[in-house]
Amino acid sequence: MSFVKIDNNNFEYSGLKLRPNVTFVSSSVGNGVTGSNFVAPVRSKCLKQVIPSNFDLNNDGKVTLGEALQAISTSPAYTQYMMQSQTMSLGLIGKHMDAVNASKQITKNTKSIDMFRFDLPVFFNANRTVKNVVRNVLMPYHQHRYDNCAFTYSNYHTLNFFTSNTIPTGSALVYPNKAKDGEGVYNLPKNFSVNFWINPKYTDENYKAGTILHISSSLAVSLVSGSSRDENNNPNEFKLMLQLSQSADISPSLVDLSSPSGNYPNDLIFTSSHVLNKNHWHHVCIQWSSLKNNSSGSIFIDDHETNFHVPSSSISANPLLDPSGIILGNYFDSDNTTLNNLLNNTLATSQGFTSIGNPSTSPINVNDNTFSHPLNAELHEVKIYNKVLSNPESLLETERQSVRNRGPENFNNLIFYVPPFFYPTTPSREVLTTPFQTITSTTDDPFNVALSFGVNGKLINLENFTREFVQGVNPRLYNLVPETINNTIQDLTADQFIYNSGSNKKRNMTILPNDNGLFEPNFFALSSSPMADSSKFYQNPLQTKGLADYSIISLENLIPSGAIYNNLAATSGSMYNSLVAASGIDNPGISKSVDLDIAQRTGDRSSNEIVIYDMSNLYYGNRIHPGSFKLYEKDLTGSDGKIKITLKDNERGSLYRADALTKHATWNNVGNVLYDEGMAVVKSPHLFFFNKDETNVTFRGEQNLHTMIINVPAFKEMFASSSNPTYVSIPPSDNANDEELSTLYITTVNIHDDNFNIIMKANFAQPIFKTEEDEFIIRLKEDF
């Protein structure tokens, strides 16, 4: 035995960071699971479950040898075996082996773990505990490391217009044209500029012109298909069609695109020379002036210009209150009397849009052709200026480019502005509290909290996202307003009620997270509003308390604390109802007599409209690799396969939407991924039922693999003796020069600490032969 001191020069270290790709797909419609991980890394089909579970006589989850012997000795098979002759033993052994071969593998070899995706239940259970741990523990812990790591989501959205087999085509946002100084506030002046961002996302083989903006007898802007087609024969390039003055009263689908401009009244129809690509964000600026360049105008798509000429002193056909409104997302194919009646005072009171003072209750003459050109695209930052955007000599960036790249810093020269932002108040209207009941109230929440906390229903408060900020006007949401059930029904949940209606489904999907990273929003419209400082929804827990942050929408404290009664034994009856009614709920959209059963059961006042993903570290190792996490929804529930959503992480713990083929808004937070804990949460209530039918997750894990090599030198004149009593020194050979050499066989190497405690040990499969004159190094390798 010999001791050799080893120091840092005897150690070699190396490390690898492994990043395995993980894909997990789980479908609830019978397509099975792809990507499950087994608990046992090495699984043998030869290992069988030889002791049945019914041998557990004590019902303690364990089978002892005594229990097994007792069960076998009292079994009919054993009794039959004892009655058989000895000559039959071989046959019984054969039957026994057949039974072994047919038995299942042992549990540890077949056990697999899936990724766990869940919505919040209506009762308090383990899943709700997971939510509370994420919200109250993990998010505060990581908030200094990750972006938007709080129970909030970003206030950056798009207006999503689409149609399908179950979605009504006859829907639109109708902004009332209020009177001011004898004229409508939205009447087009002699100089104007219309600006918006648009993404043409939805196409099919029989694509129909969809109208973006329509002002009767003044202006119509429509998206029309180009000649290019994709591999599915669907249009993948589009053009803009502009109709002005009397030409704006011609149905867009009746225009001959091969020769759009003709004789009166078709003489003021123009198309853009440049195209808009499918699933690309494009900025559009349409402007015209009666005072410049002989009444000429331009259609800009990004920086590509198409010029047109209108020999007139005005675009508007009537300078007074004609038309009565601006139509967003469709074309209004009727007369101004019908539009006035659509905006009458009675409807304004029940549906919560801005009144134009029309008391008429005449029958409304609306048919299938009135709104028959629905837009199929995403839209945001819709603005109308009362001037042409120029290029000031003192600025390097043109005024048009400034409008394109950033949101407005003031309302100068603006007459119409729909971002859309969340705004925490609306006009009073009929608000659903159950599928059967309504109350007259305003709302200040992003979704209907009475339905959510009361009957687990999911309904977006679209009225809080569609405000026009310059004039403070709320639109009529035509065919987008929910109605109560007025007949007897059975076995129908609140969600089934909502998603059985095409108008309700379209209402829920009209607002989606924005993925346009080419634009930077400005929240001046919110900061200058009357509700700027009083709203709880702009309170960011990561900033100074009381300082408003208009870029976020808080999901905390959606109902007052006084509405929750702790330790309330009964959840029904007159006593319970009187207590809840007496709570004095001071929250718009909630009746003082509403039960809010789910809130009472759980005591949780934060949003339940979230989705949580829980992943075992069998999938990711040490942590999820930042920037690799991706969630994909191929068919958002209720969209009939039209809406596909991709969410990615921005390497800083924030999930953002990533569908467009242009630059993404990586800062637009819709959820969070906690890399170290293997958790992800989708917080945006606009993504109801995300991955409900199919969980589709991909990411890369991180696993560190380290290697340590210890070089143990075996010097000359060392390792020349043994303490083994049977040791006999044998010369290495019969040669005369080896007769005096001592021989040793090394079988084990022990690594000691400073106190000579053995901390590592290596046993050789075959002894190493060494003489006094030999010198070599023993290399010990350890992976960890």
Start-to-end CA distance of the chain, whole Å, equals 29
Asked if residue 666 lies in contact with residue 655, where contact means CB atoms within 8 angstroms, the answer is: no
d(CA 638, CA 669): 23
What is the pLDDT, as a whole number, of residue 66? 65
d(CA 216, CA 235): 28
Asked if residue 168 lies in contact with residue 479, where contact means CB atoms within 8 angstroms, the answer is: yes
What is the pLDDT, as a whole number, of residue 112? 83
CA distances from 653 to 201, 484, 682 (A): 28, 41, 12
What is the pLDDT, as a whole number, of residue 260? 76
How many of the other CB atoms lie within 10 Å of CB of 446? Answer: 27
- Which segments in the chain show pLDDT lower than 70? 1, 29-30, 48-100, 102-104, 106-108, 317-323, 391-397, 490, 532-534, 544, 546, 566-586, 592-594
Asked if residue 551 lies in contact with residue 557, where contact means CB atoms within 8 angstroms, the answer is: no
Per-residue exposure over 485-521, b if at least 16 CB sit within 10 Å of its own CB, e if not: eeeeeeeeebbebbbebbbbbbbbbbbbbbbbbbbeb
How many of the other CB atoms lie within 10 Å of CB of 550? Answer: 21
Tell whether the torsion through CA atoms of 384, 385, 390 and 393 is positive or negative: negative
Please give the torsion angle defined by the CA atoms of residues 557, 558, 563 and 566, in that order, rounded to the nearest 10 degrees.
Answer: -50
Tell whether the torsion through CA atoms of 77, 78, 83 and 86 is positive or negative: positive
What is the pLDDT, as a whole number, of residue 600? 87
d(CA 476, CA 339): 11
| Residue 63 structure tokens | 């089978």
Q: Which residues pair with 751 in a beta bridge?
A: 760
What is the pLDDT, as a whole number, of residue 155? 96
Domain locations along the chain: 53-110, 158-421+465-479, 715-783
Q: Which CATH class is domain 158-421+465-479?
A: mainly beta
Q: Give yes or no for a cis peptide into 530 (omega within 30° of 0).
A: no
d(CA 747, CA 766): 7
